[in-house]
Amino acid sequence: MSAYPPALQRLTAYFSRLPGIGKRTAERLALSCMDWPEADLQGFAESLGTLRSRIRRCSICGNLSEEEICTICRDGQRQRNVICVVEQPSQLMVLENSGCFRGLYHVLGGKLSPLSGKGPEDLRIKELRARLLEGTVAELIVATSPDVEGEATAHYLAQEFADLPVRITRIASGVPIGSDLTYADAATLSIAMGSRRTLGE
Amino acid sequence: MSAYPPALQRLTAYFSRLPGIGKRTAERLALSCMDWPEADLQGFAESLGTLRSRIRRCSICGNLSEEEICTICRDGQRQRNVICVVEQPSQLMVLENSGCFRGLYHVLGGKLSPLSGKGPEDLRIKELRARLLEGTVAELIVATSPDVEGEATAHYLAQEFADLPVRITRIASGVPIGSDLTYADAATLSIAMGSRRTLGE
C-alpha cells in the first residue's frame, strides 16, 4: 500500500502502463511532475489529451500525419516510382532518419502473425495493391523485419503482387556494419555466408 | 530532424523532460500512447493537468497530501512523540513502505547545500521548531541521506535544537543487510568498523 495521495497514485498508474516503465519508475516520474511549472504540466496534459484527435493515418501510405496526406507523400522531391513497405510508422522513421531512401513508403500496420491472429486482411495490403495498380511504381522494396513473421509477410507480398509489372525486392540481411563477429548469431552468419559477394566487383 | 507529425514531436518533447527518459525512449512512449483507448488517454491527461491543483503540502509535516493535513498526521494510531525528519516525500515513502517506523514525519524539502545555494531558511526548519515547542515530542530521528550534505543537515539540526528537551538521534550507517562485503566502499566500511557492537549483548 502506498501512502502517496490518490491523485499521485492515479498518475503513477498511468505512467506504469507505458512500455518499459515499472512501478518504481512510474512513481519517480509522477513525483517529478510535481516540480514542473504549472504551464508546462498543462501543456503536457493538453498534448496527451489531443494526441489522438490531431493525428491520423495518411490516406495514401498509412504513415502518422496531422493532415489527410502526410508530408512524405506530399513531398514533390521524392522518387515516386519506388515504394518501401514497412510494418509500422516507427520503422518508417528509422529508415527516414538514416537518409538512405528517398522514395515513398507504405505502412502495413503490422506483419502476418497467425499466432496473434493477424492475417492479410488486417494489414493495409488492399491499399498497397491499389497504389501499385496506378502504374507509376516500378519497384516495391519490402522492408519488414528480418524475423520469421516479417519474412513470411515479405514472401506473401511477393506472391500477392506477382501478377503486377513491379519489381519486388527485399532488404539484405547479414552481419551489421560495425559489429563484432564474435557476437554474431548462427542464423545471421548463415545468411551472411549464403549471400556473400565477390570482392572487387 | 524527425518526420513525425508535430503533435507527436511535442508529446515526445514533454516525455523527454522526465528524469531518466532520453529522446529515443520518449519517442517510444509517445508512440505507444497512440495505441491507448481514447478514454484512458483523456484520463492520463486529466490526471496530469489537475495534479498540482489536487496535491498540496500537509500543513503540519510537509508531506504530499490532498487534504490540509495528510493521512499520516491525521492517523490516531501513530506514535505522536517521535518525529522522523526526512528530506523529501519520496524518502518518507520508502520508510513508510518498510514498515519500520510508526511515528510522525517532518519533510524538510531538501538538505543544506551551499553549492546549490540551499540554506537553512530554504528548509522547513522553522516549522519543525514550532512542532517541537509544542512539547509532545520526545525524540527527533534525523533520517536525512548519509551523504555529505545529509550529514551536514543532521548536524545542523542537532545544534539548532540543542536548547530543546528533545532527544535527537541519527539513523545508523553501515554495510547494507544482504550485501556482499566485496563491493562495500571504503567510507561505508570505515563507518561500519567504527560503529561495531559486541555480539551477544
Share of chain B above pLDDT 70, in %: 98
- Whether A53 has a pLDDT exceeding 80, the answer reads yes
Q: Please say whether the beta carbons of A173 and A146 come within 8 A.
A: yes
Chains A & B: contacts with CB separation below 8 Å? 144
Compute the distance between CA of residue A24 and CA of residue A22 in angstroms, rounded to an integer: 6
| Half-sphere exposure in the Cβ direction for B185 (13 Å, CA) | 3
A163 and A182 inside one domain: no
The type of residue at A198 is T
Compute the distance between CA of residue B6 and CA of residue B8 in angstroms, rounded to an integer: 5
> Domain of B25?
1-35
B121 and B75 inside one domain: yes
How do A56-57 and A64-65 pair as beta strands? antiparallel
Q: Chain A residue with minimal CA distance to B93?
A: A3
Q: Chain A residue with minimal CA distance to B47?
A: A11
How do B82-86 and B64-65 pair as beta strands? unpaired
* Per-residue cell: A22: 515499472
Q: Tell me, what's the pLDDT at A86?
A: 95
In a domain, B201, yes or no: no
B67 and B30 inside one domain: no
- On chain B, the residues whose CB falls within 8 A of the CB of A74 are none
- On chain A, the residues whose CB falls within 8 A of the CB of B33 are 18, 48, 51
pLDDT, mean over chain B = 92
Residues B1-13 have pLDDT tens digits of 467 899 999 999 9
A87 and A162 inside one domain: yes
Residue recorded with cell 527485399: A170
B97 and B156 inside one domain: yes
Q: Please say whether the beta carbons of B64 and A32 come within 8 A.
A: no
B146 and B93 inside one domain: yes
Beta-carbon separation of B4 and A43 below 8 A: no
Residues A141-163 have pLDDT tens digits of 999 999 999 999 999 999 999 99
The DSSP 8-state label assigned to residue B113 in this structure reads B
In a domain, B137, yes or no: yes
- Give the pLDDT band (50/70/90) at residue A133: very high
Q: Can you give the pTM of this predicted structure? A: 0.77
In a domain, A64, yes or no: no
In a domain, B193, yes or no: no
- Whether A22 has a pLDDT exceeding 60, the answer reads yes
B residues 131-160 closer than 8 Å to A (CB): none
Q: Please say whether the beta carbons of B94 and B72 come within 8 A.
A: no
In a domain, A21, yes or no: yes
Compute the distance between CA of residue A81 and CA of residue B71 in angstroms, rounded to an integer: 66
Residues B114-143 have pLDDT tens digits of 898 999 999 999 999 999 999 999 999 999
- On chain B, the residues whose CB falls within 8 A of the CB of A64 are 4-5, 8, 34
Rounded to a whole number, what is the distance in Å from the CA of A113 to chain B's nearest CA? 19
CATH code of residue B22: 1.10.8.420
- On chain A, the residues whose CB falls within 8 A of the CB of B49 are 41-42, 45-46, 49
B150 and B78 inside one domain: yes
A149 and A189 inside one domain: no
The DSSP 8-state label assigned to residue B67 in this structure reads S
A48 and A95 inside one domain: no
Mean pLDDT (whole number) for A128-145: 95
B18 and B66 inside one domain: no
DSSP helix/strand/coil, B84: strand
Residues B61-89 have pLDDT tens digits of 999 999 999 999 999 999 999 999 999 99
Q: Please say whether the beta carbons of B108 and B124 come within 8 A.
A: yes
Q: Which of A18, A42, A97 sits opposite B29 (nearest CB)?
A: A18
Compute the distance between CA of residue A85 and CA of residue A79 in angstroms, rounded to an integer: 15
* Per-residue cell: B73: 498526521
In a domain, A49, yes or no: yes
ipTM: 0.77
A15 and A42 inside one domain: yes
Is A95's Cβ below 8 Å from some Cβ in B? no
Compute the distance between CA of residue B60 and CA of residue A57 in angstroms, rounded to an integer: 52
Query: How many domains does chain A fold into?
Result: 3
* Per-residue cell: B161: 535544537
Interface test with B, best of A9, A47, A66, A72 (most B CBs within 10 A): A47
B77 and B133 inside one domain: yes
In a domain, A62, yes or no: no
Helix (H) or strand (E) run with residue A141 in it: strand A139-142
Q: Please say whether the beta carbons of B29 and B21 come within 8 A.
A: yes
Is B62's Cβ below 8 Å from some Cβ in A? no
Beta-carbon separation of B14 and A43 below 8 A: yes
Q: Please say whether the beta carbons of B57 and B64 come within 8 A.
A: yes
In a domain, A187, yes or no: yes
Rounded to a whole number, what is the distance in Å from the CA of B94 to chain A's nearest CA? 9
CATH code of residue B122: 3.40.1360.10
Q: Tell me, what's the pLDDT at B159?
A: 94
Is B68's Cβ below 8 Å from some Cβ in A? no
Is A48's Cβ below 8 Å from some Cβ in B? yes
Question: What per-residue string of b and e applies to B154-173 under the rule 16 or more CB within 10 Å gives b?
Answer: bebbeeebeeeebebebeee
C-alpha distance from residue A143 to each of A24, A157, A159, B111 (Å)? 37, 11, 16, 54
Beta-carbon separation of B28 and A44 below 8 A: no
Q: Tell me, what's the pLDDT at B181?
A: 84
